[in-house]
Amino acid sequence: MALLQISEPGQTAAPHQHKLAAGIDLGTTNSLVATVRSGKAEILPDVEGMHLLPSVVRYCETGAPQVGAIAKQSAISDPRNTISSVKRYVGRGLADICKGCSRSEYEFVDSDSSVPRIRTVAGDISPVEVSAEILKNLKLRAEETLGGELTGVVITVPAYFDDAQRQSTKDAAQLAGLQVLRLLNEPTAAAVAYGLDKGSEGVHVIYDLGGGTFDISILRLNRGVFEVMSTAGNTALGGDDLDRIIAQWLIQQAGLDPSALSAGQMRATLLEACRAKEALSDAEVVGVSLSVTDGSVADDAVWQGELTRTQLYELIDPLIQKTLSSCRRALRDAGIDVDEIEDVVMVGGSTRSPRVRELVGEFFHCEPMVDIDPDKVVAAGAAIQADILVGNKPDDEMLLLDVIPLSLGIEIMGGLVEKIISRNTTIPSAKAQDFTTFKDGQTALAVHVVQGERELVSDCRSLARFELRGIPPMVAGNARIRVTFQVDADGLLSVTAREQISGVESTVQVKPSFGLTDGEIETMLRESMSHAQEDIAARMLREQQVEADRIIESVESAIVADAQLLSAEERSQIDVALSELRKMRDGDDPRKIKQAIEALNTASTDFAARRMDASIQSAMTGHKVDEF
Amino acid sequence: MHAADLSSNFFALFDLPVSFDIELDALSARYRDAQRAAHPDKFANAPEGERRLSVQMAARINEAYRVLKDPLSRGRYLLELHGVALDDSDTAFDGAFLMEQMELRERLADVKNSADSVSQLRIIADDIAAHDKSLITQMADLLNEASAESLQQARNVSRKLQFFRRLNEEVEALEDELGDY
C-alpha cells in the first residue's frame, strides 16, 4: 500500500494547490470582479448581492473615500467631490482632458507633477488614485468572498488604450496592492468568455461599446489559440457620449444657456438623457423634463417636452457611424471581407441599445450575438485567464495572442515620426532600428518616444523622452545608435538606446509623460500604510522570499526534467547558487536574498534558454511527424 | 548556444526548408505551437529571469512569423540570407515603371477633388493589388532560380514592390481621411 505524504509544518503544500485569482473589469461606468469556481467563471456580488460596482468615488473631508452606489448617490448633491468616469482621464494630460468637452464637471488643477489632479475636499487627487480606490474595493470584496488573499489578478483595459493609459492602470493596481498577472484587452476577454463556452473556430468580431470607450477586435480562433488580427477603436467615444449629445439637445430645447448650468444641473440633465434613451428602447416617444433653475429657490421651474425615437436616432446615428468607420478600418487591417466573419459578439452596456444592434447587424450582415450579459462578459473572460495564469490549470491549451493598437515610433529631424513597431503587430514584440548623429562631435542624443499613426510628432501622443549621453565625439553621421523597442505581453513598452561603436547604453521603462513617477507611487504607498516602515520592510522580505521559492522550485524541477542539457561544470555552479539561496531565503535580509536570486538566475539562464529552445523544437518535430 | 539559437534563421526556427514556397497553413500551425511553448502566459509563475527570456523568445517567434507570412518581406529576407545587399538607395528603374508610378500618383492626387472619391480610391487600390500580385509571382520565380543574376533581378522586383506598398499606405491614409476612421 502506498503511504500518504504529509508535508513539514510551514512548508508549502503541493505545487498544484488551488490559488486565488480574479479577473477585474475596471469600467468607465461600472466595475466588476469575477473568479473561477468549480470550473465556471462567476461574478462576485457585494454583501447586498449587487454585481456591478458603479465606478464612482466620493472624497469626503474626513475618513476614507466612498466607493460605488453610495458615492453615486452624491453625484448631484456633491458633484465636485464625486468622481465618476475617471477612466476617461487616466493616463491623459490636462490638454487632452479638456479637449472635446466644453465644460468639465470637475476642477482640474495643474501640479508640479505632470499628472493632472482633481481638486476635492480631501486634497488634489490624481485619476490613478481614484482608480486605485475602485480596485481596492473590488479586492476587498473578492478576498472576503473567497476567504483569502488574492495571488494575482487580470485587469482588463480597452484594446485601444495607449501605453500611457495601460501603464497608469497598472500603477493604480500597484497602489491598490494587487499583483497584476496580465493586462488583458477587453474584447479579447469577451472572446475568451464566449469562445470557451462554444468552442467555435473561425473569424470572430467583438464589438465593444462601453460607457466611455469603443473597441473593435477581429480574432481568429484555432484550437484554443485566440489570434487577434486587428483592433481599432476610440478611447473617447462611448455610451456617455450618446447621453451627452441627448443632454445637449435637451438643454437647447429647454432654452437654457449651457455655460450657465451648475455642475449639479449638468449631472441631472445627463441622468435625464440616459433615462430617455433607455425608455425609447420600448416606447416610440417619451416625455422629458428639466429643472430650469439651479434648485436653490423653492419655485423650481420645470421645462417639459418630449423626445421621439426618430429624433433620438437623428442624434445618435452619427456617433454609431463613427464606430462603424473603425470597424471598416479593422476589417481592412485584418485583410478580411465581411463575408468571412462567423459572428459578431456584442459587449458593453451601450450595446443594449436596439439602434446600435440594428446598425451593427446591417454592417456585418448578421444578427449580433448577445447571449452573455454584455456588462459581465469581460470580467468573466478575465477571470478565466487569471485562473490559467496563476497556475490552476497547468494543462490548459488556451493561448491569447494580442496586438498593439497604435504604432510606436521616435521623433526624427524635422518633427517627423519614424515608426518602429506598427499598429496591429502581435505582442510581445521587439524591434531595433539604427540612427545616427546630426552634428559633428555630438555627444548626446535626445530620444522622444511617440505613439500614433500620423507623420508629424505634434499629431501623435508623446510617451516619453530620454537622453543617451556620453557618445564619443565623431563626425556627423558616423555614430551608429541602435534604438530597440520591446513591448511585453501587457502591451507595455521599454526602450533601449545603445551606441554600437562605444557601447554606451541607456534604457528606460517608458514611464508615460502623463503618468505618476515611481517616486510618487512609492510615496502614496507609504502614506497608505499605517506603520509604513515596518510594513514596507516586511512586505519586501516576503516578496523576495516568494521570488526565491519560485526560482528554487523552478530550477530544481528543471534539473529533474532536463539534467542532460547541463555540463558538469554548469551543474556544479547551479548547485552552489541553489544552496546559497536556500541559506539566504531563511534569513531576514531582503537584499541578500535578492543577490542570491540574481546569482542563481545568472548561473541558470543558459540552461533555461536551452530548455525553451528544446521545447519549441520538440513542438516543431511533432509537426514533421504529422506531415509525413 | 543560446545566442546562436536566437540568431539562427527564421525558417530554421519553424523547422521549415529555406525556400520562398512555403505552405502558409503549415507555417501558421507551427507558429501557434511555437508560441504555446514560449509565450509569457506559459511562464506567468516562472521566476523573473525565465519570464524575461520568454518575452524575448515570443517576440522573436512573432517577428519570424510576420516576416515569413508576407511574400515581400519573406522574399527580402531570403535575399538577405543569400547575401544580396538590400541597400535601398541605389536602384535604377526602367522608364516604364517610373511612368506608371507617376501616373498612379497623379490619379491619387486627383481623388480628393473627385466627386466619387471613395470609388475612385477603390479602383486605384485594385490596380495596385494587381501589380502587387504579378510582381510577387515574378519575384518568386527569380528567387527559386537563385542564380547570382536572378537574385539581383529579384532584388529589383522587391524594390518595385516596395514602391507599390508605399503607395498603398497612402491610399489607406486617404481612405482613413475620407471615411473619418
pLDDT digits (tens, 9 = 90+) for B119-177: 888 888 898 999 999 999 999 999 999 888 899 899 989 998 998 998 998 888 888 77
Residue among B26, B35, B46 whose CB faces A401 most closely: B35
Task: List the grid coordinates of B62.
Answer: 512573432
* Residues present in chain A in total: 628
User: What does the pLDDT look like over B2-56, one tens digit per residue?
Assistant: 433 445 799 999 989 899 999 999 999 999 999 999 999 999 888 888 999 999 9
DSSP string, A261-325: --HHHHHHHHHHHHHHHHHTTT-SEEEEEEE-S-S-SSS--EEEEEEEHHHHHHHHHHHHHHHHH
- Span A157-170, pLDDT tens digits: 999 999 989 999 99
What is the reported pLDDT for A617?
Answer: 86
Question: How far off is chain A from B55, nearest CA to CA, in Å?
Answer: 6
Predicted local distance difference test score (pLDDT) of residue A176: 92
Residues of A in contact with B128 (CB under 8 A): none
Nearest in space to B152 (alpha carbons), one of B143, B161, B144, B160:
B143
Q: Which residue has the higher pLDDT, A622 or A452?
A: A452
SS3 A408: strand
Find out whether A142 and A22 touch, Cβ atoms under 8 Å.
yes
**Residues for chain B: how many in total?**
181
- The confidence band for A96, taking pLDDT boundaries of 50, 70 and 90, is confident
The pLDDT score that the predictor gives to residue B181 is 44
CA–CA gap between residue A493 and residue A449 (Å, rounded) = 10
| pLDDT for B86 beyond 60 | yes
Percentage of residues of chain A with pLDDT beyond 90: 43
- pLDDT at B79 exceeding the cut of 80: yes
Mean pLDDT over B70-95 rounds to: 83
pLDDT band at residue A105 using 50, 70 and 90 as cut-offs: low
- Chain B neighbors of A562, CB-CB under 8 A: none
Residue in B with minimal Cα distance to A624: B15
Assign A67 a pLDDT band (cuts: 50, 70, 90). Answer: very high
Q: Which residues of B touch A615 (CB under 8 A)?
A: 37-38
Chain B residues lying within 8 Å of A601, measured CB to CB: 47-49
- The pairing of strands A285-291 and A302-308 is antiparallel
More confident residue, A271 or A16: A271
Q: Mutate which of A613, A617, A624 to test chain B, going by most B C-beta atoms within 10 A? A: A613
Is the pLDDT reported for residue A357 higher than 50?
Answer: yes
User: pLDDT for A292-312, tens place per residue?
Assistant: 765 544 456 788 889 999 999
Whole-number Cα distances in Å, A358 to A122, A214, A454, A547: 45, 17, 33, 52
Provide the shortest C-alpha distance from residue A380 to chain B (in Å): 18
CB contact (8 A) between residue A489 and residue B55: yes
Residue A527, pLDDT above cutoff 80? no
Instruction: Answer positive or negative: Cα dihedral of A325, A329, A330, A336.
Output: positive
Provide the mean pLDDT of chain A: 85
pTM over 0.90: no
Percentage of chain A exceeding pLDDT 70: 88
Say which range, A26-35, A353-362, A542-551, B131-140, has the weakest mean pLDDT: A542-551
Out of A198-207, A295-304, B58-67, pick the least confident: A295-304
Question: What is the per-residue pLDDT for A528?
Answer: 63
Overall average pLDDT of the A332-357 stretch: 91
* Residue in B40, B61, B180 nearest the CB of A325: B180
φ, ψ of residue A63 in degrees (nearest 5): 80, 175
What confidence score (pLDDT) does residue A294 get? 53
Which of A422-431, A443-452, A510-519, B46-55 has the highest average model confidence (pLDDT)?
A422-431
pLDDT band per the 50, 70, 90 thresholds, residue A465:
confident
Decide: A292 and A302 in contact? Cβ < 8 Å.
yes
Residue A439 has φ and ψ, to the nearest 5°, of: -120, 150
Contact present, B76 and B65 (Cβ < 8 Å): no
Residue whose entry in the numeric block shows the C-alpha cell 449639479 = A264
pLDDT tens, residue by residue, A411-420: 988 888 999 9
**pLDDT tops 70 at residue A625:** no
pLDDT band at A11 (very low <50, low <70, confident <90, very high): very low
* CA pair distance A186, A26, nearest whole angstrom: 10
φ, ψ dihedrals at A211, nearest 5°: -65, -40
Mean pLDDT of the A319-334 span: 92
Active site residues of A: 25, 87, 186, 208
pLDDT average, residue stretch A544-571: 89
pLDDT band at A615 (very low <50, low <70, confident <90, very high): confident
Closest Cα in chain A to B30: A620
Interchain CB contacts (distance < 8 Å): A and B: 143
For the sheet with A108-109, list strands across it: A108-109, A117-120, A123-125
Can you give the pLDDT at residue A254? 85
Per-residue burial over A324-347, b if 16 or more Cβ lie within 10 Å, else e, is: bbbbbbbbbbbebeeeebebbbbb
Inter-chain CB proximity A551 and B47 less than 8 Å? yes
Convert the pLDDT of each residue in A18-29 to its tens digit: 889 999 999 998
